[in-house]
Structures are given as structure tokens and as C-alpha cells.
Amino acid sequence: MSLVAEINRTTCRKCRRCSGTCSNGTIERAGASFRVVAELCSGCGACVDMCPWKSVKLVSRQE
Ligand code: SF4
Ligand code: SF4
């Protein structure tokens, strides 16, 4: 099963830790928040570990 990161925009505090961690440049600014570019995400989970507010999780990729 392939996984992809997903950001909870409600609880995200916009600290940028996740986007700074992702070596793929997968997390980008989207207006007042951030979004994951699913095509670039390897599902490594580094961003999940980095978020102090547990606002990133890995979910099953929608095929
Ligand atoms: S690390 Fe968490 S709180 Fe910070 S920008 Fe990313 S999702 Fe939002
Ligand atoms: S799971 Fe890995 S590749 Fe995907 S956004 Fe997070 S750090 Fe980047």
C-alpha cells in the first residue's frame, strides 16, 4: 500500500518545520497554509515526526 502525507489545515500552526524537513520539496505554501504535492511525496514520514502539533499524517494514496 502506498502512503502519502496529508496536512490537517485546521490544526496546522504554519511553523514550516515540515516543509523544511522534506527533501523532496513536497510541502509547499498554499495561501495561508501548506499543502502536500502528492505526486512528489515518497511517503517517508519525516514530516510526520517533525510536526510538534501532530498535524501531518500518512494516509493511503488514492489511486
Ligand atoms: S510542521 Fe505541522 S504545524 Fe508546522 S507547518 Fe507543518 S503541519 Fe503545520
Ligand atoms: S512523507 Fe516524506 S516525501 Fe512526503 S511530504 Fe513528508 S517528508 Fe516529504
> Tens of pLDDT along 24-57?
899 999 988 899 999 999 999 999 999 999 999 9
Examine residue 31 and state whether it is found in any structural domain, yes or no.
Answer: yes
Give nearest CA residue, ligand 1 atom 4. 15
Examine residue 45 and state whether it is found in any structural domain, yes or no.
Answer: yes
How far apart CA 57 and CA 48 sit, in angstroms, is 6
pLDDT value of position 36:
96
pLDDT value of position 60:
97
Residue with cell 494514496: 61
pLDDT value of position 48:
98
| Nearest-ligand number for the alpha carbon of 5 | 2
CB burial class (10 A; 0-12, 13-18, 19+) of residue 57?
middle
Give nearest CA residue, ligand 2 atom 8. 22
Structural domain boundaries enclosing 40: 3-54
Name the pLDDT band for 61 (thresholds 50, 70, 90).
very high
Number of domains, the chain? 1
How far apart CA 20 and CA 51 sit, in angstroms, is 11
Q: What is the mean pLDDT of residues 12-23?
A: 94
pLDDT value of position 23:
86
- The CATH number of the domain holding residue 22 is 3.30.70.20
